[in-house]
Copies of this chain bind each other. A is one copy, B any other.
């Protein structure tokens, strides 16, 4: 997994919206997705390409439509590799910060 691509892909609200839309209904075409997206079709295409490059979305051409499927695995990996360690220390760090502040 390319961690950086995943984070950069998630950095844009339009792309998070696309993932939300695919989460609501998996396997949508470009046209379907655009109906919810107040932007030109070509812009949505570029966003979907970025999501695909990050392996967050897979697409399959079926006849003349291209269907898009969400892939939650990279998000899970980001959580595993990156969020969890912070989570683990969350309360103790908060306590530490509080102590430091009180020591001013």
Contacts and interface: CB of A to CB of B under 8 A. Distances in A.
Interface in A85-100: 85-87, 89-90, 93-94, 96-97, 100
A90 B76 contact: yes
Interface residues of A, number: 37
A26 to B, nearest CB: 6
A11 interface: yes
8 shortest A-B CB distances, which residue pairs?
A11-B11, A72-B86, A72-B90, A7-B11, A8-B11, A69-B97, A75-B86, A79-B83
A93 B76 CA distance: 13
A69 B100 contact: yes
Contacts of A53: none
